[in-house]
């Protein structure tokens, strides 16, 4: 787009220069010829056409300022959204952490309670098995001891 504009601009400028040169060639007489007037009018028309096409520095500066304002507004909006989302995520994370800590505490208490209960049951079962084993081993030993004593007594008699 810039190359088309530059090409059109340079062509119009060359034609305007050519027309001005033609217009400046006056013959030594009191009046200006029709060709001079036509060339001068064509040059003025081309310059007006170029002036319509040319973007002035003020217009370009105004456009750049508008873009900067839009950019600044959008950046501020994005920063605001980022802060809002960050706060929301922090709140959700702390809420989730609190819930997990609460659940972990409850689970820990429940596990400790279950563990203590299982420990007591295991001790009771071990005591029961120990008592059973004691009686199963002790009774036969006592019976054998009694029988041996009886046999020894019988042999002495």
**Tally of CB atoms within 10 A around 146:** 10
The more confident residue out of 8 and 31 is 8
Cα distance between residue 129 and residue 156, in whole Å: 40
Weakest-pLDDT range from 59-68, 70-79, 118-127, 135-144: 135-144
pLDDT at 32: 65
pLDDT at 74: 84
pLDDT band at 27 (very low <50, low <70, confident <90, very high): low
Cα distance between residue 89 and residue 94, in whole Å: 9
Model pLDDT for residues 72-126, shown as the tens digit of each residue: 888 888 889 889 888 988 888 888 888 888 887 777 788 778 888 888 888 888 8
Residue 22: C-alpha distances to residues 11, 27, 44 (Å): 16, 11, 13
| Angle CA 84–87–92, to nearest 5 | 125
Mean pLDDT across the chain: 80
Q: How far is CA 88 from the centre of its chain?
A: 13
Average pLDDT over residues 148-157: 77
């Amino acid at each position: 787009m810039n190359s088309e504009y530059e090409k059109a601009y340079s062509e119009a400028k060359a034609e305007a220069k050519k027309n001005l040169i033609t217009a400046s060639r006056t013959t030594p007489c009191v009046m200006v010829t029709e060709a001079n007037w036509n060339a001068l009018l064509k040059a003025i028309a081309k310059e007006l056409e170029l002036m319509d096409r040319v973007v002035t520095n003020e217009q370009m500066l105004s456009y750049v300022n508008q873009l900067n304002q839009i950019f600044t507004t959008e950046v501020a909006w994005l920063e605001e959204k980022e802060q809002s989302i960050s706060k929301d995520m922090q709140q959700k994370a702390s809420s989730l952490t609190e819930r997990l800590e609460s659940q972990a505490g409850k689970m820990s208490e429940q596990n400790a309670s279950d563990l203590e209960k299982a420990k007591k049951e295991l001790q009771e079962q071990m005591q029961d098995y120990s008592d059973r084993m004691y009686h199963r081993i002790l009774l036969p030993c006592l019976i054998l001891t009694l029988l041996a004593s009886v046999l020894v007594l019988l042999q002495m008699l």
